[in-house]
Amino acid sequence: MKKTRILFVSFILMIFLVQIANAANVGIVVEFPDNSVKTDCVSVDTSTPGYDILQQSTFDIAWSSEGSQGYALCKIDGVGDEVASSAGNCVWDPDLFWAFSILGSNEWQVAPVGAGSYAAVDKDVLGFVRSGFDFLFNPTEEPPVKTYEHVCEKLNVKDIKVYVDGKKESGADEDGGKIDVVPGSKLELKIEIENLYTDSEDIRIEYIAVEGVLESIDDGDDIDDEANDFNLNPEKDNEVSLSFDIPLEVEEDSYDLAVTIEGENENSFPYLEEIEFEVEVDKEKHDIIFDKFKFSNNNVDCSSSASLGVKVINLGVNDESVRLAILNEELGVNIQESFELSEDPFEKDNSFSKTYKIVLPSDINPGVYLLRADLFYGNDIESSIAELNIVCEGNNLEYEKEHEKNEDVKEKINTEEIKINTLSAEAVTGAVMGPTVVEKNLSNKNILTASIFAGEILVLIAGVVLLTHLLRK
């Protein structure tokens, strides 16, 4: 029974593969007596007769009845010989007929058979023109030479712009190329696609699908993205985007990025274009980052505690011995951790993760507190800052004590532009960052003091003016 199933599946697969192998896409070029040219493309099975090919095209074809030589071509889009109603034969013009040729090596060759008896070959181009004939009955006219690419490849990739972390890559375009990234990079492709059919041809390309697959980059798995399907009218274009987030945990290597563009015209003729890129992941010798350094809730009550999450990843190509220091004197935080990080992105010890419980001092004042974390490895330092806002609900204390602050840090906090300054290991050891306390309301005492001071100034000025006036008298 099992053997029977296997044979059945193999048979179905064989039929499917044969069908794929036997697909034939054929181009058609027609030149009319007014010198206008019209083209079309038809997708059929290999060896499909010319009669069926033309019947599936967008051209309006009039045939004779089938005879010993097959069907004879009478009219294309109403141009040509009438069809005798009685016998169904073409009423031949003695001077003109529809000459049938097949393109080979960029020149037309007179077909050895009639159009109705031709058997389809993939990427053939069939040519038709109203022509006279010479003494050997060969046509005296030829349609303009148009290659299969010119006739049938009407879905065109006009342009591809590649951006890595917002910066344009110059080494890649619509022809493919090499793209340099680092772990954690954001890779984006902006793809401009156009319909090359003319307005006079009036053929829309439909169900256009754009997909990109970055192969085996995520621990052996692919990363893919696709744009929404769309249609394109003749002589129109459209831009779509594909984006890929390069994993932090990735091997330094080259990865294939395949971009596929598919669609079909109104006659169900398929379009397919594939563009290959090489994505090169480069790593630094020493590169450790904070993947996470923040409080699970950065707004806490002064009577509670805070949960601080830390994750550190080694993105470099070397194993590292690391020391972590998290310090803040006012919060009573002095955390020191030492650990080893592997260079292998798929080893468990490639990263370090831990959650610390920060118990707030009983006399803590409300305000915004900054915790600084520093990673020391080799001769390098990586720093990060976490912000904690402490509130004391129901506490109406007025704070008379002034906190001496670093004005530069204070200004940057107020503008939400905190910049992490790199400190040496010696400078960081024992360093603290206190709170920035924002007073929401001035106390009544401060308001009264300011008012009295202003009044005294006004009285002094009035006295000076009066004294000056008396002396002049």
pLDDT in tens, 205-262: 999 999 999 999 998 999 999 999 999 999 999 999 999 999 999 999 999 999 999 9
**Phi, psi dihedral angles at 207 (to 5 degrees):** 55, 45
pLDDT of residue 86: 76
Fold of 2-151: Ferric Hydroxamate Uptake Protein; Chain A, domain 1 (2.170.130)
pLDDT in tens, the chain (473 residues): 434 433 333 433 333 334 444 789 999 999 999 999 999 999 999 999 999 999 999 899 999 988 877 899 999 999 999 998 877 889 989 899 999 999 998 999 999 898 999 999 999 999 999 999 888 888 999 999 999 999 999 999 999 999 999 999 988 999 999 999 999 999 999 999 999 998 988 889 999 999 999 999 998 999 999 999 999 999 999 999 999 999 999 999 999 999 999 999 887 899 999 999 999 999 999 999 999 999 999 899 988 899 999 999 999 999 999 999 999 999 999 999 999 999 999 899 999 999 999 999 988 999 999 999 999 999 999 999 999 999 987 543 433 333 344 345 444 444 443 343 333 334 433 333 444 333 333 333 343 334 444 445 554 565 545 555 555 54
The residue to which tokens 């009044």 are assigned:
455
pTM of this structure:
0.67
145-166 residues labelled b (16+ CB within 10 A) or e (exposed): ebebeebbbbbbbeebbbbbee
Q: What residues pair up with 28 in beta bridges, in sequence order? A: 40, 126
Contact 122, 240 (CB under 8 A): no
CATH class of 155-281: mainly beta
Q: Tell me which amino acid residue 54 is.
A: L
The distance from CA 289 to its chain's CA centroid, rounded to whole angstroms, is 25
How far apart (Å, rounded) are the C-alpha atoms in residues 250 and 220? 10
The two three-digit tokens of residue 120, written as one number = 């389809």
Identify the residue whose tokens are 């917002």: 166
Tokens of 408: 């530069």
C-alpha distances (whole Å) from 131 to each of 126, 140, 143, 398, 402 are 15, 6, 10, 103, 101
- How far apart CA 416 and CA 431 sit, in angstroms, is 22
Closest among 97, 154, 105, 100 to 126, alpha carbons compared: 100
Measure the CA–CA gap between 186 and 203, rounded to whole angstroms: 37
What local confidence, expressed as pLDDT, does residue 14 receive? 38
Question: Which residue bears the tokens 């060969």?
Answer: 138
DSSP result, 295-361: ES-SEEETTSEEEEEEEEEE-SSS-EEEEEEEEETTTTEEEEEEEEE-S-TTSGGGEEEEEEEEEPP
Dihedral angle, C-alpha 412, 413, 415, 420, nearest 10 °: 50
Q: Nearest Cα to 245, choosing from 259, 274, 224?
A: 224
Phi-psi region of 308 (alpha: psi -120 to 50; beta: other; left: phi over 0): beta
Among residues 145, 71, 61, 137, which one has the least CA distance to residue 99? 137
CA neighbours closer than 13 Å in the CB half-sphere of residue 26: 28
Fold of 288-436: Immunoglobulin-like (2.60.40)
